Structure 1
Amino acid sequence: MKELFYTLVFLTFFTGLSAQKLVVSSPNGLISVALHQPGEISENWYFKVFYHKSSSEEALIPKINLGLARSDTNFSSNLKLQKSGKIRSISEAYHLIHGKKSSPGNSGSEVTFYFRNDNGKKMNIVLRVYNDGLAFRYEFPEKEGDFSINNEFTSYSIPTEATRWLEKWNPANEGLYQQMQGDSLQGEWGYPALFHDRDTIGWYLIHEANLNRTYAGTKLSNEENANTYDLVFPNPDDGRGTGKSNPDITTPWESPWRVIMIGNLATVTESTLVTDVSDPVKLKDADWIEPGVVSWNYWSSNHGTKDYQTVIKFADLAEKMGWKYTLLDWEWDAMGNGGNLEDAVSYINKIGIKPLIWYNSGGDHTWVPATPKDRMLTHENRVEEFTKLHKLGIAGVKVDFFESEKQNMINYYLDIVEDAADFDLLVYFHGSLVPRGWSRTYPNLMTYEAVRGAEWYNNVPTFTMAAPQHNTILPFTRNVVGPMDYTPVTFTNSQFPHITSYGHELALGILFESGLQHMADRPEGYYSLPDKVIDILKKLPAAWDDTKFIYGYPGKNAALARRKGENWYLAGISSELWETENTISLEFLKPGIEYQLKLVQDGAHDKVFKISEEKVTSEDRLKVKLLRRGGFIAVFEPL
């Protein structure tokens, strides 16, 4: 049997013959993906992925099984390839209001494989190979009717030797990442999942993107085979048993993209592949959307919003620090001690700060009784509530406790975001799914929790010791795929103490990206800082024009440089139990320009800073010293 063999290298097409595979390569030639015909009739078609920046001939990912089971028929081992389409060159640039880069761009190659099963039913697989990874999705091209997807057979076979960083699945996505090797642990795992294959020197991060109303969120399971990660639908018990686990579809239909960011650790960290493959913005007007820093009272006072005087104190903090927002968290409907919600909102707006407000997502899917509940639950409820909020001058809503990624809940998320946009309201989700690229499609969706953040200093004493290492993993896992509401930068203590240095804590405000960056400490925690540190926090951006990986290894250390306008912000942290020194090249700065550097690093002990200033250029190297579990920031302003 003759098979077509396609390869694309530097946008040059080459056609030849190959026994049992079709191959597509990235424009830069570093990544190639081969579609393999099954050897046995009972086997699925599969992709094999190669990363060529290595002398090894081994595949980075030996097998990605493909296929779906639809309620009327299967598209798996019974597939016959009818043809493959012409390879299409992809080159795109677009704008993001908030994120790691304001003007992302991508370059890739796309091909569609056309299959039929033994019932004559059609299924297509669309494959894209980018310079920083790959994405593929399934299509049913024919208008046939309504069906359910009973199973998705996508699975990733991982070499036993690969190191992996995985988070045990939980509906709120608030676990700790675990580093493991080989077949040491089996279970269900949340997105994104990071792997490092030392034989091929490749790193890769597995995720999904452009999840929409036509599907459910998936996760990974290696319960059957320790080194094979199957895509599986939500557990029936998620959301207290409400909603179907498997999704219902209407053809023609497209699945979400299965996304893998591939390269060295810098390529993976800087990748925007999740938004690259997501739908363009759907809002007619987005000029009203403003990223910003938020003052937040819950971390230091779990019932702070119940107290009008505490609310005013945190509004004053935002005003003194030049931050855009303050959050009225839970219990605002029970506010007392001098004023109620209307009084607080009036005061906040009067001093030029924009209030945000918390809601329980409500409904039978959550066990949490906190009020107000159910005001988000229906379109009519939301329109009534959003009308009130708009008149009051409230800028956005924080909606909490979703506890499911079933299709009904995906629809609920998107209903909230779309209705909020009609009233010029920002949205962010807590107790939620991990980002799937929606911030491109709906830029009023500013951030998500979906992380074990600083709030956990309230919840369990074990976070104290886990946090330093956890913080060094997040820039290479969770925060790669979208905004992350960790609620960072705390210098005093919450219910349980932290053991990170002041330099470490300060760095988190730059290291972690979130369109709404909630500063979690109490006012005196910020007022007691040196004036030069306060000045930096006053000007801290919450959205970035560019992001560069500087150095790091998950669980040990991390350093990123982020640009806003002409200014660069560099931040680094360590989880090591000893002092470390690093010499950093400043080649990320614009050549030929002299910059004023403000360096804030660990001082003599972990509760003081060492602050210095000097003039530097892109040709210079910066030496920084970190205490154990320490950190630093550096701000570069062109002269």
Structure 2
Amino acid sequence: MKFAIVSVLFFSLYALPSFAQKAVVQSPDRRISVALFSEQNNDVGRWYIKASYNNNGKISDAIPHIDLGLLRSDQDFSKELKFLKAGKPTFIHEQYTALHGKRSVCTNSANEVIFSFENPSNTRLNVIVRAYNDGIAFRYEFPEKQGEFVVKDELTAYSIPKETTRWMEKWNTPNEECYDSMSNNNVQEKEWSYPALFRSKDNSCWFLLHEADVNRNYCGTKLSNTADGSTYKLTFPDPRDGRGQGASQPTITLPWQSPWRVIMIGTLADIVASTLVDDVSAPSVVKNTDWIKPGIASWNYWSSNHGTKDYKIVCEFADLAAEMGWPYTLLDWEWDSMSNGGHLEDALQYIQSKGVKPLMWYNSGGPHTSVSSTPRDRLLTHEKRVEEFTRLKKLGVAGVKVDFFESEKQDMIRYYLDILEDAAQFEMMVYFHGCLVPRGWTRTYPNLMTSEAVRGAEWYNYDPVFTTAAPVHNTILPFTRNVVGPMDYTPVTFTNSQNPHITSYGHELALSIVFESGIQHLADRPEGYRQLPDAAKALLKEIPAAWDDTRLLNGDPGNNVVIARRRNNTWFIGGISAAMYERTEKISFSFLPEGVKYKLTLISDGKHDKALTTQYLVVDRSSTVEVEMLRRGGFAAVLSDPVKLNK
């Protein structure tokens, strides 16, 4: 992974007439501004920043008030902060390559300034602020050279006008709730998971709140408006999380920088396309990445909860992966008690004889989880991980799925990162389940292929309510959870599990494109894919798990979404609807390059939910195509074999 950082003096920083406003930082395209204000209208007191957005000349306050401050175990850095200076402006420009995600070539480009303060004890606090073309990011810094302290509280808080519409997920340790849509008098007061999506009252801008680059020197945070319904304050983990293991307040070692507080701002298309969470995160620490291979995996758990316990079922899903050309199959829990014709070593040998690579599940173990499912505790310490990864490497296992973390305390953040680092030493890919929402780690550790942190198709096994919730839920996730990192929803299921679908086959097929994951686990049983018409089966055989470009073509959270993704010269388009009525989606191909024609294979809803219809057309950037969707329907399309037109 190659990258370069270039710093130049290219910045807009100036004092404006209001005495309370100290400075303004603008994005390179000047659409987004961050202004620093004093609440006391002088140089000493409390401070906040305001984020503004220029939408074609109409300037709106995306977030009018973001409180700043920290409480450290030895000192207060909030009430009486003296503004010292705004540092020398810097233009940050960095290009890097992502092995998987929504875009292969990413650019970290922003204007940065450091605001310096000191408290009454003359101890320095810096606030580093960046303005991007697609949002802002800021973090705290203690520049002192030594010392160890506990951060008692972080006072960062976002004041959001009640008229702002918001989509938020109630806080829970595995981040597996559905999103609530709220505004005005129905805004709920709770603790909330990241990320949180907002739309301004006048529809002039959207913004998404998250955090990135969380490392061993801090904990994960969440949002809480329990004290004030209109203000979302950053909040440390509940002491009860992880069965009470670990401290909820982080211990920091100086010099220290906090995680980035990230706000994506712009149109809904800007947010869906943004890589800001990864952009601000630390570059890859994995030097040789040739072994990291995104791809599709077959998965037996959804259709057979105890499937991995059965050697014959494991072999059936290996056969499915080989038949579909998918590189992986997952052995979920109970592989250590496999029977009915063979044991683990037999299964691994069979899987690899088919040209497929095995992935294996682990319980994270330890006192932080009461889940007894085995194998557990095998990854709990460095010594145990080395022993287990050595064994897996010899067995030809390509990656591990680690489950049940149940906390975002500092000790658990360290555990996540320890697993990733040790796995990389053994060229082992990783994905987390029962876990935190991505925080930019896929850039730092590109062997982190995906994370669950979503109410996915697995919930058809647990909750009959998910049957009716799924269509709306599916149209919210591309604008929220999947924006900030790969998402292991385990999609594309045509048959039924314990509770039935009400989404159409077209809707399910589209999820292979609408949802992004570095390892995409397609969860249906073999007959679910074998019964598909040839065009749909062909699409699932060639669908990538890593993309060169991603664009939102149309959508509204909770109603519908149409996303186009490109791999090399082939475009894939997925569209889904949550509507309880039939609707027509008009696809514009204006995103295509000028002077090029593509072959279009369009697979859409047929006469009923379990039917698909296929059309073959030729299109270019001037074309539009209308697609008829059933209620809760969808479609998938492939644009291939581009041919340049003669001038």
For normalisation by structure 2, the TM-score amounts to: 0.96
Quick one: distance in 2 between partners of 1:114 and 1:205?
Answer: 27
* Contact 1:556 1:575 (8 Å CA) reproduced: yes
Equivalent position SS for 2:97? coil
Instruction: Say if 2:158 is the partner of 1:131.
Output: no
Equivalent position SS for 2:167? strand
* Contact 1:58 1:200 (8 Å CA) reproduced: no
Instruction: Say if 2:620 is the partner of 1:633.
Output: no
> For structure 2, which runs of at least 5 residues remain unmatched after alignment?
1-8
- Residue 398 of structure 2 corresponds to 395
Quick one: distance in 2 between partners of 1:306 and 1:316?
Answer: 17
* Contact 1:54 1:200 (8 Å CA) reproduced: no
Shift of residue 618, structure 1, vs aligned partner: 1.4
Instruction: Pick one of 405, 413, 421 that aligns with 1:418.
Output: 421
Instruction: Pick one of 97, 114, 117 that aligns with 2:116.
Output: 114
Q: Give every structure 1 segment of 4 or more consecutive aligned residues whose post-TM-superposition deviation is greater than 3 Å.
A: 10-18, 40-43, 54-58
- Residue 278 of structure 2 corresponds to 275
* Contact 1:56 1:200 (8 Å CA) reproduced: no
Instruction: Pick one of 213, 217, 221 that aligns with 2:216.
Output: 213
Quick one: distance in 1 between partners of 2:565 and 2:60?
Answer: 35
**Residues 476-495 of structure 1 mapped to structure 2, 5 A cutoff:** 476-495=479-498
Instruction: Pick one of 146, 150, 162 that aligns with 1:148.
Output: 150
Aligned residues: 630
Shift of residue 160, structure 1, vs aligned partner: 1.1
- Residue 588 of structure 2 corresponds to 585
Quick one: distance in 2 between partners of 1:86 and 1:165?
Answer: 38
Instruction: Say if 2:2 is the partner of 1:33.
Output: no
* Contact 2:562 2:576 (8 Å CA) reproduced: yes
- Residue 3 of structure 2 corresponds to none
Equivalent position SS for 1:474? helix
* Contact 2:237 2:409 (8 Å CA) reproduced: yes
Instruction: Pick one of 98, 102, 113 that aligns with 1:100.
Output: 102
Instruction: Pick one of 305, 320, 332 that aligns with 1:302.
Output: 305
Instruction: Say if 2:360 is the partner of 1:351.
Output: no
Quick one: distance in 1 between partners of 2:137 and 2:12?
Answer: 20
- Residue 259 of structure 2 corresponds to 256
- CA deviations on 1:69-101 (whole Å, 9 max, x unpaired) are 000001001100111112111222110000000
* Contact 2:13 2:89 (8 Å CA) reproduced: no
- Residue 20 of structure 2 corresponds to 20
Shift of residue 198, structure 1, vs aligned partner: 2.6
* Contact 1:568 1:589 (8 Å CA) reproduced: no
- CA deviations on 1:242-285 (whole Å, 9 max, x unpaired) are 00001000100000000000001001111000000000010121
Shift of residue 485, structure 1, vs aligned partner: 0.1
Say if 1:465 and 1:16 are closer, same or farther in 2 by CA, change over 3 A: closer
- Residue 173 of structure 1 corresponds to 175
Give the aligned residue type for 1:267: D
Quick one: distance in 2 between partners of 1:28 and 1:77?
Answer: 34
- Residue 233 of structure 1 corresponds to 236
| CA RMSD across the alignment | 1.3
Instruction: Say if 2:147 is the partner of 1:162.
Output: no
Quick one: distance in 2 between partners of 1:224 and 1:112?
Answer: 30
Residue range with higher mean Cα deviation, 463-472 or 19-28: 19-28
Give the aligned residue type for 1:476: F
- Residue 6 of structure 1 corresponds to none
Quick one: distance in 2 between partners of 1:13 and 1:202?
Answer: 22
Shift of residue 55, structure 1, vs aligned partner: 6.2
Shift of residue 44, structure 1, vs aligned partner: 2.3
Shift of residue 183, structure 1, vs aligned partner: 4.7
Quick one: distance in 2 between partners of 1:49 and 1:412?
Answer: 35
Quick one: distance in 2 between partners of 1:630 and 1:178?
Answer: 22
Shift of residue 107, structure 1, vs aligned partner: 2.6
**Residues 488-527 of structure 1 mapped to structure 2, 5 A cutoff:** 488-527=491-530
Shift of residue 144, structure 1, vs aligned partner: 3.2
Identical pairs, percent: 60
* Contact 2:45 2:81 (8 Å CA) reproduced: no
- Residue 344 of structure 2 corresponds to 341
Quick one: distance in 1 between partners of 2:38 and 2:95?
Answer: 35
Quick one: distance in 2 between partners of 1:470 and 1:340?
Answer: 39
* Contact 1:183 1:227 (8 Å CA) reproduced: no
Quick one: distance in 2 between partners of 1:57 and 1:536?
Answer: 44
Instruction: Say if 2:384 is the partner of 1:381.
Output: yes
* Contact 2:108 2:280 (8 Å CA) reproduced: no
* Contact 2:45 2:82 (8 Å CA) reproduced: no
**Residues 461-472 of structure 1 mapped to structure 2, 5 A cutoff:** 461-472=464-475
Instruction: Pick one of 194, 197, 200 that aligns with 2:200.
Output: 197
Shift of residue 191, structure 1, vs aligned partner: 0.1
> For structure 1, which runs of at least 5 residues remain unmatched after alignment?
1-9
- Residue 567 of structure 2 corresponds to 564
**Residues 85-96 of structure 1 mapped to structure 2, 5 A cutoff:** 85-96=87-98
Quick one: distance in 2 between partners of 1:15 and 1:451?
Answer: 43
Quick one: distance in 1 between partners of 2:15 and 2:244?
Answer: 53
Give the aligned residue type for 1:61: I
